[in-house]
Amino acid sequence: MKELKVELGERSYPIYVGDGLLNDIATTLAKHKIGTKSPLLLVSDTNIAKLYLEQVKSLLEAGGYRVATAVVAAGEKSKSLAVMEDIITVALEAGLDRNSAVIALGGGVVGDLAGFVAASYMRGVRFVQIPTTILAHDSSVGGKVAVNHKLAKNVIGAFHQPEFVLYDIATLKSLPEREVRAGLSELVKEGFILDRGFVEYCDANAERLLALDSEALEHALYIGCGVKAKVVSEDEKEGGLRAILNLGHTIGHALEAVAGYGELLHGEAIAIGMVGAARLSEKLGNPGSIAVETERILRKFGLPVRIPAHMDTDAIMSAMMHDKKFLEGTMVFIIPTEIGKVEINKTVSIESVREVVERLKRED
Amino acid sequence: MKELKVELGERSYPIYVGDGLLNDIATTLAKHKIGTKSPLLLVSDTNIAKLYLEQVKSLLEAGGYRVATAVVAAGEKSKSLAVMEDIITVALEAGLDRNSAVIALGGGVVGDLAGFVAASYMRGVRFVQIPTTILAHDSSVGGKVAVNHKLAKNVIGAFHQPEFVLYDIATLKSLPEREVRAGLSELVKEGFILDRGFVEYCDANAERLLALDSEALEHALYIGCGVKAKVVSEDEKEGGLRAILNLGHTIGHALEAVAGYGELLHGEAIAIGMVGAARLSEKLGNPGSIAVETERILRKFGLPVRIPAHMDTDAIMSAMMHDKKFLEGTMVFIIPTEIGKVEINKTVSIESVREVVERLKRED
């Protein structure tokens, strides 16, 4: 078992990564001073609930906790104010009070949704994350929680740090292959941002990671979460530095929005977005090898590196304008300047972006 | 013009109180580094919009600001996630970004709702309050913002401090008499909590206050906001002390919930709740004169001091159990121990509360 501390002063919290950690969930809660007097709310989705909900609930009840459960439909559509309201109905009916905690059992959708419930219920109760996907390593570090609006993703939310994150890699073994690939996309992204050595590790160990080898996964999640934790510690509220975590996300989010949340998995959209950012880097005068290398590694993980040709360029550009990162009329891009290093760039022209998008649609 | 500082470290902000301050809204925004590059969102309700929306919008536009407006139906029902979502649609369509600000022009409902929009939009943008009721003096100090759930009031929200509060007492002159009385209820409450001298001032100047005399109102709002600011400064997140501001609110909120948000104005429900708290004080062994004196002063302001006889006691008790202040099965009451002094009491039995409620229904 590895333990990683996310340093945020009073709001610091640990991430536990290891095989079989779920079995200790009740003692871990107790260790974090979450008592048994007030009920807990366990939030999950239809896919994960089938596999683990009863198990986690029983483990908690065996530890003396009263547990209310809310199971939402799997998928991005559950990240809505309407679903949030339904979950709060469950919380109120179960008598959750200010000393209660909300536990997210699932991937990024469940974490974001349950996290925003925890941030808002009675103006904030404690929050625990049990991520069950590789992708969720990303959303489980940093306290960004949110739901979607029909016009834009993640646009209604808060910063709400968990008490702890419990990453049981045993739960990852049931992931569909496509989700494994998409999750590894965001994990290798942490390397592209700040850690060339980690990119090299992922490059060298792609097969082990794709085969969900326990040792490789534990190491990669520990390092990947560590990169993210380092950035978040230095910039909790996304004043500046934290924006680098959005490598690939400006184009990626736009693709997801145009695809209607589903055609592309988040990690797939981000993979395409990372290639886009590397292409923009070349336009800004950096070596073309960055884009070539980025693409080669992402292809090794079986990830898409081109925009589906049927997607409308105008729609993609318009979705980008609604992005939170589009500040005071300026496009803000995270641009790789070498493998393992990025800069925040505000000089990218709308025309260059359109050209890159067009090329990524045309090429094979 | 009086200026009061709410001391909250990095989140400190001023409250400006005076006659005609709205005329300077654009320069006040500029002084607070809210620039003209990003659009503003001005939120109001149907009642206030009729009186002031065009005026405020013109003043802002004259100062170079682009202004989107969202007008919600007057009344507590607008404090919902659904209305919040509609406002966010306006914000997105107008292109509000992270450097934008949301301005609440109205009473407590508009302030709470627009404040929660500001807290959540893109995980938090700046917020400005222009309260147009006396009651809103309370919600405009302390950063508590929220919407309602059908099962409980203010149960979905955040702590989000404004950049500044601009209290133009000229806008109070259009208030209906019943709202003036209800607003003064919450204002004199600040005295009952912490400032006997202010209770005496209100007692001696009840007629001037009811007649909306500018000088008396400016003084009373300044002192009332000051009491609240003092408490909030010492306990921003309601860890302990801040709870004293809830004098009269445990019973008051329950009455509002049972009455269906509307039969009783908030300040009226709080007036009855303050009498209830004083009666509980007597049951705990404090002098009966506290309840007598509380009642006398509130009657002077034409406020109700009895529970409407048709309200169901069980429903009132059950609503109290859903209150955020009902912690781990313990009733938490704010109890006056003399005029101008309160304590946080967790020893009040459910039976005593029921007796007080029953008596307040039966008496004339």
In angstroms, the CA A152 to CA A254 distance is 9
The CATH number linked to B77 is 3.40.50.1970
pLDDT of residue B139: 84
DSSP β-bridge partners for residue B128? B103, B164
Residue B153 burial by Cβ neighbours in a 10 Å radius (0-12, 13-18, 19+): buried
Residues A300 and A200 in one domain: yes
Nearest CA in chain B to A147: B120
Domain identity same for B302 and B201: yes
Single out the residue in A154, A174, A194 at which a domain terminates.
A174
Residue type, A251: I
Residue ranges of chain B whose CB lies within 8 Å of a chain A CB = 37-38, 81-82, 84-85, 88-89, 92-93, 95, 97-99, 119-124, 144, 146, 149-152, 155-159, 237-238, 321-322, 324, 326-329
Out of A133, A155, A174, a domain closes at: A174
CA distance B142 to chain A (A): 13
Of A247, A261, A250, nearest in space to A148 by CA: A261
Pairing assessment for the beta strands B126-131 and B144-149 based on DSSP bridges: unpaired
CB A121 within 8 A of CB A103: no
- A168 strand-pairing partners: A18
What confidence score (pLDDT) does residue B138 get? Answer: 86
* pLDDT confidence of residue B336: 98
DSSP B155-200: EEEEE---SEEEEEGGGGGGS-HHHHHHHHHHHHHHHHHH-HHHHH
Token pair belonging to B4 = 């009061």
Cα(B38)–Cα(B79) distance, rounded to whole angstroms?
26
Q: Do A192 and A208 have their domain in common?
A: yes
- Residue A333 pairs with which residues in a beta bridge? A345
Structural domain ending residue among the three candidates A174, A205, A233: A174
Q: Give the residues across from A15 on adjacent strands.
A: A4, A165
Rounded to whole angstroms, the Cα distance separating A312 from A321 reads: 15
Q: Can you list the alpha helix ranges (DSSP code H) found in B241-322?
A: 249-259, 266-283, 289-300, 313-321
Which residues of B fall within a CB distance of 8 Å from A123?
144, 146, 157-159, 238
Give the torsion through C-alpha atoms of B25, B26, B30, B34, to 10 deg: 90
Six-digit token string for B360? 């307040």
Gap between the Cα atoms of B34 and B303, Å rounded: 40
Residue A309 burial (CB count, 10 A): 9
Crossing angle (nearest 10°) for helices B313-321 and B249-259: 120
Q: Which residue bears the tokens 């592309």?
A: A264
Element (H, E) at B55: helix B54-62
A342 is in an annotated binding site: no
Residues ≥6 apart with Cβ < 8 Å to B211: none
Residues B27 and B159 grouped into a single domain = yes
pLDDT of residue B324: 60
Closest CA of chain B from A19, distance in Å: 34
- Both tokens of B185, joined, read 């209820």
With CA atoms as reference, report the closest residue to B361 among B249, B248, B251. Answer: B251
State the Cα–Cα distance between residues B81 and B93, nearest whole angstrom: 18
List active site positions of B. 123, 144, 186, 228, 238, 242, 246, 249, 253, 266
Residues A158 and A303 in one domain: no
> How far is the C-alpha of B326 from the C-alpha of B316, rounded, in Å?
14
Matching residue, tokens 């326990």: A214
Distance CA B158, CA B31 (A): 26
CA distance to partner chain B, nearest, from residue A117 (Å): 8
Catalytic residue among A242, A256, A293, A295: A242
Buried b (16+ CB within 10 A) or exposed e, A212-228: beeebbbbbbbbbbbbb
B-chain CB neighbours of A99 within 8 Å are: 327-328
- In chain B, which residues have their Cβ closer than 8 Å to the Cβ of A37? 328-329
pLDDT of residue A302: 97
**Tens-digit pLDDT string for chain B (364 aa):** 899 999 988 899 999 999 999 999 999 999 999 999 999 999 999 999 999 999 999 999 999 999 999 999 998 899 999 999 999 999 999 999 999 999 999 999 999 999 999 999 999 999 999 999 998 998 888 899 999 999 988 999 999 999 999 999 999 998 999 999 999 999 999 999 999 999 999 999 999 999 999 999 999 999 999 999 999 888 776 667 888 999 999 999 899 889 965 689 989 999 999 999 999 999 999 999 999 999 999 999 999 999 999 999 999 999 888 766 565 667 889 999 999 999 999 999 999 999 999 999 999 7
CB contact under 8 A, A156 and B98: no
A274 vs B308: CA distance, rounded Å? 64
Annotation says A144 is catalytic: yes
Q: Name the token pair of B248.
A: 């009269």
Return the DSSP state at B39.
P
- Dig out the tokens for B69 from the structure: 């407006």
Contact A152 B92 (CB under 8 A): yes
Verify whether residue A200 is a known catalytic residue: no
Report the distance separating Cα A335 and Cα A328, nearest Å.
19
Which of A193, A184, A192 is CA-nearest to residue A221? Answer: A184
**Interface touch A158/B156, C-beta < 8 Å:** no
Q: What share of chain B is helix, strand, coil (3-state, %, to 5)?
A: 55, 20, 30
The two tokens of residue A303 are 């990830």
* DSSP notation for B337-362: EETTEEEEE----HHHHHHHHHHHHH
Q: What is the ipTM of this complex?
A: 0.86
Q: Across the interface, which of A37, A97, A156 has its CB nearest the CB of B120?
A: A156
A312 burial via Cβ count (<10 Å: 0-12, 13-18, 19+)? exposed
Question: Are residue B105 and residue B169 in the same domain, yes or no?
Answer: yes
Instruction: Give the C-alpha separation, A13 to A141, whole Å.
Output: 9
What single string gives the DSSP state of each residue in A4-30? EEE--GGG-EEEEEETTGGGGHHHHHH
CA distances from B220 to A3, A236, A328, B184, B212 (A): 55, 40, 41, 9, 11
Rounded to whole angstroms, the Cα distance separating A246 from A252 reads 9
Q: Both A160 and A260 in a single domain?
A: no
User: What is the domain range of residue A137?
Assistant: 2-174
Q: Do residues A280 and A156 both lie within one domain?
A: no
Q: How far apart are CA B227 and CA B230, in angstroms?
A: 5
CB count, 10 Å around CB of A254?
27
Q: Spell out, as residue ranges, where chain A has pLDDT lower than 50.
A: none
Same structural domain, B152 and B47: yes
Specify the CATH number for the domain of residue B284: 1.20.1090.10
Pair B138, B196 in one domain: no
CB contact (8 A) between residue A151 and residue B120? no
- The reported pLDDT for the residue numbered A239 is 66
H helix or E strand, kind and range, residue A3? strand A2-6
B160: Cα separation from own chain's centroid: 14
Contacts of B81 in chain A (CB under 8 A): 81-82, 84-85
B124 lies in the same domain as B186? no
- DSSP state, residue A338: E
- For residues B128 and B181, membership in a common domain is answered with no
How many independent structural domains does chain B possess? Answer: 2
- The pair phi, psi for residue B19, each rounded to 5°, is -90, 120
| A139 neighbourhood in chain B, CB within 8 Å | none
Mutate to test the interface with A, among B122, B125, B154, B250 (most CBs of A within 10 A): B122
Query: Among this protein's residues, is A324 annotated catalytic?
Result: no
Task: Report how far apart the first and last C-alpha atoms of chain A are (Å, whole number).
Answer: 43
